[in-house]
Amino acid sequence: VQLQASGGGEVQAGGSLTLSCVVSGRSFTNWPMAWFRQAPGKDRELVAAISWDGRGTYYADSVKGRFTIARDDAKKTGTLQMNTLKPEDTDVYYCAGDVYATTWYGPYDYWGQGTLVTVSS
C-alpha cells in the first residue's frame, strides 16, 4: 500500500492550494483518511480527517472555515483544499489512512511522504 501526496508549493498569504493523496496497492473504500502537518522540532498536528463514507469530517480549530477535506473513492484520492492561507500554515503536510482507524487521530498505519506548503507574508 502506498500513499502519494502532492500539491504543495509556495503561495502568498491569502492564496489557495489543493493537496492530493492517491492511494495505490489496495482498495480505498472504507478507509478513514486524514491530513496532518508537522514542522521541524514540533509535534505533528491533525489538520483534517474524513470518515470512510465521507459523511463525517473533522477540522482543527486553526483551519475551520478555510480548509476542506474530501474524498473520491473511484479515483482512490483524498484532497485537502486550503483557502485563505496564512504564514502559520507553513508546514510539511502528510496524508494518512487506515481501515482500522477508530478515531480522527487514528491509528494510521499508512502515510504519504509529505508535501511542503510555504506561505509567505
For 20-78, the pLDDT digits (tens) are 999 998 777 788 999 999 988 899 999 999 999 999 999 999 999 999 999 999 999 99
Q: Is the pLDDT of residue 3 over 80?
A: yes
CA distance 20 to 23: 10
The dihedrals phi and psi of 13, each to the nearest 5 degrees, come to -55, 135
